[in-house]
Amino acid sequence: MEVSIEPTWKSKLQGEFEKDYFLKLAQFVKEEYKTKTIYPPGSLIFNAFNLCPFQNVKAVIIGQDPYHGPGQAHGLCFSVRDGVDFPPSLNNIFKEIESDTGIQKPKNGNLERWASQGVLLLNATLTVRAHQAGSHQKKGWEEFTDRIIGILNNEKQNLVFFLWGAYAQKKGEAIDRSNHLVLESVHPSPLSASRGFFGNKHFSKCNDYLTEHGVEPINWR
């Protein structure tokens, strides 16, 4: 089937778009957008890929679901649109960045600036019903995003994967640690951040690794 996605990703994923699970997923998602309020807007489902072409990927942050409140989700995990209040997990991410690197908390939580530098902000599930967390889980998105992680793992070298929380760690358990840096900690949620997210120094560790391998580090502003 025809999917509107950035060309380098399209070339990698075209075979996936023809598989039965994806065709069923596409039909489900299409019907959901017709009958319910779904986030993000349909044009932004593949925003993470459109802003970070395959050849540009340096680092991958794995989230779970899009935000399910109005005006928040725009296709990048943990990110919100300009002018939207920082959700608690994102607020804690910026706290750790400031503690780790000295970069002060920015004025907005739109992480397109990270995506443009090669950070793939990948949710495991790419759509969700308004106010219903997890409502599009187990419909096929997880299989699709597992395939993406597999392609990155197998076809790239020296990526940095951020796996925060048990869900992301399970999703990334097959990543080859001899070819990539895998950074694991508890989730930045207020429920867990004080038990090992704060002080994990993942952002400086990422940049040290990229620099060691001759790759331009990320400006975590």
CA distances from 175 to 35, 67, 114 (A): 38, 26, 22
Residue 9 token pair: 């990703």
Verify whether residue 100 is a known catalytic residue: no
Catalytic, out of 65, 85, 146, 176: 65
Query: First-to-last CA distance in the chain?
Result: 38
DSSP state of 84: P
3-class state of residue 217 by DSSP: coil
Residue 46 token pair: 């593949």
Q: Report the distance separating Cα 210 and Cα 193, nearest Å.
A: 25
Q: Report the distance separating Cα 166 and Cα 162, nearest Å.
A: 12
Q: Minimal CA–CA distance to 66: which of 56, 57, 78?
A: 78
Q: Report the distance separating Cα 105 and Cα 89, nearest Å.
A: 13
Q: Report the distance separating Cα 152 and Cα 143, nearest Å.
A: 14
Residue 70 token pair: 């109005």
Is the bond leading into 66 cis (omega within 30 degrees of zero)?
no
Q: Report the distance separating Cα 77 and Cα 61, nearest Å.
A: 8
Active site residues: 65
